[in-house]
Amino acid sequence: MATIEARDLTKVYRTYRKESGLRGAIKGLFYRRYDETRAADRVTFQIDEGEFVGFLGPNGAGKTTVLKMLSGLLNPTSGDARVLGFVPWERRNEMKRQFSLLMGQKNALWWDLPAQESLELNRAIYGIDRDRFKKVVDGLSELLEVGDKMNVMVRELSLGERMKMELISALIHEPRVLFLDEPTIGLDVVSQKRVREFLRVYNEEHRIVTMLTSHYMQDIQELCDRVIIIDHGKIFFDGALDRIIDQFSATKVVSLTFAEEAVRDFSAFGEVVAQTPVSVQLKVPRAKVTETCRRLLEACNVSDINVQEIPIEEVIRQLFGERAAREPAIPAAV
Ligand SMILES: Nc1ncnc2c1ncn2[C@@H]1O[C@H](COP(=O)(O)OP(=O)(O)OP(=O)(O)O)[C@@H](O)[C@H]1O
Ligand SMILES: [Mg+2]
C-alpha cells in the first residue's frame, strides 16, 4: 500500500460575487453569482515509503490546496485520498500522531512563549513521553544549531531561527509523513542551506515520506529525486527530476571556443546566447545538435566544443512562463 494516495482529488472554491449597488444587492437575493476556482482538478498520484517528492507549480497552481486536503484541513469537493491508510479529512487521532504539516507562511508556535514552552505544550497534546521528548528535541536543536535559542520568546527570534523551531515542532512526535509548504521562504541563503541540509539528513535517517513545495529550485534539486508538477489544479508531470529536461527542454546549449578570432554571424546555426571574438554560445534544437556541431566544425577553426543541457531552473521558468501565457487563469463564472 502506498503511504500517500490521491485519486481524482478535486477542490472547487466557490466565492460569492457581490455585485455593486442596491440593484446588485437585490438581484443577489434571487440570483446568486459565484466565482469558481478549480484549485485541484482530478489530482492523482501515489507516494511510497521513504520518498522525498518535490511539488512544483507557479503561484496559485493548487499546491497548498492539495497539501491541505492531504492534511485533513480541507474537505475535497470530490475524489479520494489516503495517508497512511487514513482518510485525512476524517481527522483521526491515529493519523494526526503520524504526520505533520509545516507551512512556511504561517506559524504554529505561540508568539509570546519561548520555543521550549511551545514545544512542551505540543508534547502534552501529543502525549509524548518526557524522556523521549527531551532526546528528540535535543537532537533536533543540535542539528539545526538553535540549542541556545530554546528559551527566547518566539517573537524575538529571527525568521530563520523561527523556521527551525517550527521544524522541530513539526517533528517532535516523530511523524512518518511530512508535508512542507515552502519551509525556506524568505530565509537568507545560509539559513536555506542549513534547513535543506537538515531535511536531507533527516529524511535519510528516518526514511520519512516528505512532500515539499518550494519556489527555490535549489531546494528541489538537492532534496527530491521525484517531482510532481501542477498548474491550474492539474498535474502535468510526475517523474524523475532529470526527465523534466528531456521532456520539456526543446534545446541544448552548444559552446564553442575558436583557435583564432572568428567574428561572424552565427544565427544560421542557432540562437546566439553569448558571443565574444573567440567564443560563442548557441541554443540549438535538440534534434539538430549533432548536425549543427558538424557544420560548425567544418565552418570554423574550433579549438573546443561543448554541448550542455539548459539548467533545470531555466527549463521550469520557461515552462511556467509559457503555460501562463497560453492559458491565463480566469476563474469561471457560474
Ligand atoms: N479559501 C479560498 N477561497 C477561494 N479561493 C481560494 C482559496 N484558497 C485558494 N484559492 C484559490 O485556489 C487557487 C490555488 O491556490 P493555492 O493556494 O492552492 O495555490 P499554490 O499553488 O499554493 O500557490 P502559491 O505558490 O502562491 O502558494 C488559487 O487560484 C487561489 O486563489
Ligand atoms: Mg501555496
Q: Is 15's C-beta closer than 6 angstroms to any atom of ligand 1? A: yes
How far apart are alpha carbons 211 and 223 in whole angstroms? Answer: 10
Do the domains 250-309 and 4-246 match in fold? no
- pLDDT (tens place) for every residue of the chain, 334 residues total: 899 999 999 999 988 777 777 777 777 777 777 788 999 999 999 999 999 999 999 999 999 999 999 999 999 999 999 999 999 999 999 999 999 999 998 888 888 999 999 999 989 988 899 999 999 999 999 999 999 999 999 999 999 999 999 999 999 999 999 999 999 998 999 999 999 999 999 999 999 999 999 988 899 999 999 999 999 999 999 999 988 888 888 899 999 999 888 778 999 999 999 999 999 999 999 999 999 999 999 998 999 999 998 888 888 888 887 766 665 544 433 3
Query: Which residue, by CA, sits nearest to atom 25 of ligand 1?
Result: 59
Domain ranges for the chain: 4-246, 250-309
In words, the CATH class of domain 4-246 is alpha beta
Q: Is the CB of 214 under 6 A from ligand 1?
A: no
Read off the pTM: 0.85
Q: Which three cell numbers stand for residue 63?
A: 499546491
Cell of 296: 560548425
pLDDT reported for residue 70: 97
In terms of C-beta distances under 8 Å and separation of at least 24 residues, what long-range contacts does 266-272 make, across chains too? 269/295, 269/296
Nearest Cα residue to atom 18 of ligand 1: 62
Cβ-based burial of 302 (10 A; exposed 0-12, middle 13-18, buried ≥19): middle
φ, ψ at 128 (rounded to 5°)? -90, 140
In CATH terms, the fold of domain 250-309 is Alpha-Beta Plaits (3.30.70)
Provide the edge-to-edge strand list for the sheet that holds 234-240.
99-103, 177-181, 209-213, 52-56, 226-231, 234-240
Q: Is the CB of 56 under 6 A from ligand 1?
A: no
Report whether residue 128 contacts ligand 1, using a CB cutoff of 6 Å: no
* Rounded-to-integer distance, Cα 143 and Cα 198, Å: 7
Tell me phi and psi for residue 252, to 5 degrees: -125, 165
